[in-house]
Chains A and B, each alone.
Chain A
Amino acid sequence: GAVVSQHPSRVICKSGTSVKIECRSLDFQATTMFWYRQFPKQSLMLMATSNEGSKATYEQGVEKDKFLINHASLTLSTLTVASAHPEDSSFYICSARGWDSVYEQYFGPGTRLTVT
């Protein structure tokens, strides 16, 4: 149980284009979903928290106009990187928390974004 998927697993795009990453909870309903980014040999940094049907809450320093988050249903959240630039290249990981989880988060496999 508690499986989270992400799509795509890897994406390469040109500078200036937008990229959408999907995060799905496969076997549970996710009341809250989280988006993290991870640079090589560094820890996961929380970007934003989203609750189904509500606007996402962004961490300090994260541009909400660049990283657009939509949590349209209890099993799907999307992260759109708008007008991506090379400095946005990173490993993006989503996680989800269900009704019966007090604080446990279950993580997706991650999406490697490379902007050329």
Chain B
Amino acid sequence: EDQVTQSPEALRLQEGESSSLNCSYTVSGLRGLFWYRQDPGKGPEFLFTLYSAGEEKEKERLKATLTKKESFLHITAPKPEDSATYLCAVQADKLIFGTGTRLQVFP
């Protein structure tokens, strides 16, 4: 069965304290892995697409990497405005979401 697991469920960081979020997956026929940011009461906002192991994408303080079994979202020197839920999703026959990591960054 296709499955996406994200860890940790919640993460509290001090402003400037770098960390990583994990997304592990088991899926037959991976066609892409996506990272989204979701603010409370809002729809997901697209961040990155990764297609093959070894691929990396960067955007401001965020960097996404992909291996054959997992993806990491690295957050460098986070700011309070980075506080949100970060969702990982894999494209198989359909888009399958993980339950997200709720990130809180304190000043």
Query: Which residues of A pack against B, CB within 8 Å?
Result: 2, 4, 6, 34, 41-46, 49, 59, 91, 93, 95, 102-110, 112
Q: Give Cα A46–Cα B89 distance, bound, in whole angstroms.
A: 12
Q: Give Cα A50–Cα B32 distance, bound, in whole angstroms.
A: 20
Closest to B100 in A: A43
- The answer to whether A44 and B87 touch across the interface, beta carbons within 8 angstroms, is yes
Counting contact residues on chain B (CB < 8 A from A), the size range is 20 to 34
Binary CB contact string for chain B from 28 to 62 against chain A (1 if under 8 A, 0 otherwise): 00011010100001111110010000000000000
Query: Which residues of B pack against A, CB within 8 Å?
Result: 31-32, 34, 36, 41-46, 49, 87, 89, 91, 94-95, 97-100
Within the complex, which residue of A45, A93, A103, A107 is in contact with B49, where a contact is CB–CB below 8 Å? A103
Closest to A42 in B: B99
Residues of B within 8 A of A42 (CB): 99
Q: Give Cα A91–Cα B44 distance, bound, in whole angstroms.
A: 12
Closest to A109 in B: B43
Residues of A within 8 A of B97 (CB): 43-45
User: Which of A6, A34, A109 has the most chain B CB within a 10 Å cutoff?
Assistant: A109
Residues of B within 8 A of A107 (CB): 36, 43-46
